């Protein structure tokens, strides 16, 4: 039983010409009734975008709490939560690089996770940085006696590659899927019109499978990271590490 994701939405997209800084469109109502989202989506082309629909786990429904979060050319979306975030928040925020502190604009665990990952080197070594962020969350939670604190699927991108993560402290994470290689799908469904014109570099990462196409979605294994990039994508084991 999942809650309705009606507590705001967001989409961040990169321009067609080169990487550059992504644009954000975020709203506080349900995505399904947002006229601007439909308008801008229809009028926009982009080689890479992240989209998110939010179900608040307690923090306010406001634009600064809507994903994606952005820092320079980076975007971040998160599905999950930090248990007892209210109790852990101060210690987590204190671990954020003071130079990054002023760019915290909202009140969510997700934005804090992003800024911790930035603190730990997201821009240079994304996988290590996210593993350290997770390690810190688990360490702070342990100090406060909070069990199984982290539940997350995360996607982050610099406009060129996408890193996706699936992890939870209890080893029972929310689902995450990536789309089957287009070359394979083209072979399976040579006549499917929806697949026409999609290049072999097309890849989707989603929390739940979209549509009914048999074989279109591959589950990301428990405790994993993946990289979507030009050429061969990658998949590996995710392991929280002390920062």
3-class SS at 118?
helix
Helix, strand and coil content of the chain, in percent to the nearest 5, comes to: 30, 25, 50
Distance CA 103, CA 60 (A): 18
Residue 24 sits in the site that holds its own copies (CB under 8 A):
yes
Give the residue with the Cβ less far from its own copies, 21 or 222. 21
Rule CB under 8 A: say whether 57 interacts with its own copies: no
When binding is defined by CB under 8 A, the residue of 42, 124, 199, 212 that contacts its own copies is: 42
Q: Are 168 and 29 in contact (CB under 8 A)?
A: no
Binder of its own copies out of 1, 2, 9, 13 (CB under 8 A)? 13
Give the C-alpha separation, 205 to 132, whole Å. 23
Tell me which residue of 230, 198, 234, 237 sits closest to 216, measured CA to CA: 198
For its own copies, the binding residue among 1, 2, 43, 212 (CB under 8 A) is 43
Selected range binding its own copies among 23-31, 121-129, 130-138, 225-233, rule: CB under 8 A: 23-31
**Which one of 19, 72, 105, 234 is in contact with its own copies (CB under 8 A)?**
105
Nearer to its own copies, 60 or 143 (CB): 60
64 is a contact residue toward its own copies (CB under 8 A): yes
**Phi, psi at 183, each rounded to 5°:** -60, -40
Phi first, then psi: give them for residue 4, nearest 5 degrees. Answer: -75, 130
Q: Kindly list the residues in this chain that would bind its own copies in the complex (CB under 8 A).
A: 4, 6-7, 13, 15, 23-30, 32-33, 35-36, 39-40, 42-44, 56, 59-64, 86-87, 89-90, 94, 98, 101-102, 104-107
């Amino acid at each position: 039983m999942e809650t309705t994701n009606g507590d705001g939405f967001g989409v961040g997209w990169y321009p067609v010409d080169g990487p550059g800084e992504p644009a954000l469109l975020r709203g506080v109502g349900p995505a399904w009734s947002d006229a601007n989202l439909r308008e801008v989506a229809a009028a926009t082309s982009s080689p890479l975008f992240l989209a998110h629909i939010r179900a608040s786990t307690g923090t306010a429904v406001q634009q600064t709490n809507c994903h994606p979060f952005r820092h320079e050319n980076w975007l971040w979306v998160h599905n999950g939560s930090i248990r007892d975030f209210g109790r852990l928040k101060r210690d987590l925020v204190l671990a954020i690089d003071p130079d990054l502190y002023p760019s915290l604009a909202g009140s969510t665990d997700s934005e804090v996770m992003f800024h911790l990952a930035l603190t730990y080197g997201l821009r240079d070594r994304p996988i290590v940085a996210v593993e350290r962020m997770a390690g810190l969350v688990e360490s702070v939670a342990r100090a406060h006696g909070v069990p199984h604190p982290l539940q997350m699927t995360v996607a982050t991108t610099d406009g060129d590659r996408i890193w996706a993560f699936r992890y939870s402290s209890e080893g029972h994470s929310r689902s995450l899927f990536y789309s089957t290689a287009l070359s394979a799908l083209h072979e399976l469904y040579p006549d499917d019109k929806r697949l026409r014109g999609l290049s072999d570099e097309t890849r989707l990462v989603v929390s739940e499978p979209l549509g009914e196409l048999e074989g279109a979605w591959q589950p990301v294994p428990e405790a994993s990271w993946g990289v979507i990039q030009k050429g061969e994508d990658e998949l590996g084991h995710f392991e929280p590490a002390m920062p």
